[in-house]
Amino acid sequence: MRTWRHPILFAAIALAFAVLAALGTWFDFSAEERAQAGAIFTSPRVALLVMLALGLAGTLAALASHWATRTLGGIRRVAESSATSQLRTPPTASPSLADPSCAKSPVR
């Protein structure tokens, strides 16, 4: 069964929106506010924030993958089994329909 790759895309999009929100906030700061924020966000703290964000994105991806496997996996198995069963057993007509001599005359 193919793996479901959309959770990784979901986590990447969520992370991209978080980065865009942070950049929008940063550019909205005045010069004085940027200096104060620069004193708070030192290199080790920024690295910690990035690692936490990546961990959160990975957790979101794992949860979404688990949910999709449980929810969509059963649906996919049912669809695949019905498609393969139709391919394995060709439809056949009943003998009475195949042989015209077996057909009854209409009752009047």
**94 compared with 50, residue with greater pLDDT:** 50
Instruction: Look up the pTM and report it.
Output: 0.48
Residue 97 lies in a domain: no
**43 compared with 86, residue with greater pLDDT:** 43
Q: How many domains does the chain have?
A: 1
Residue 95 lies in a domain: no
Residue 34 lies in a domain: yes
Residue 99 lies in a domain: no
Q: Mean pLDDT, the chain, as a whole number? A: 76
Residue 10 lies in a domain: yes
Residue 74 lies in a domain: yes
Rounded to an integer, what is the distance from CA 16 to the centroid of its chain? 17
Range of the domain at 25: 6-88
Say if CB 73 and CB 1 are below 8 A apart: yes
SS3 77: helix
Residue 100 lies in a domain: no
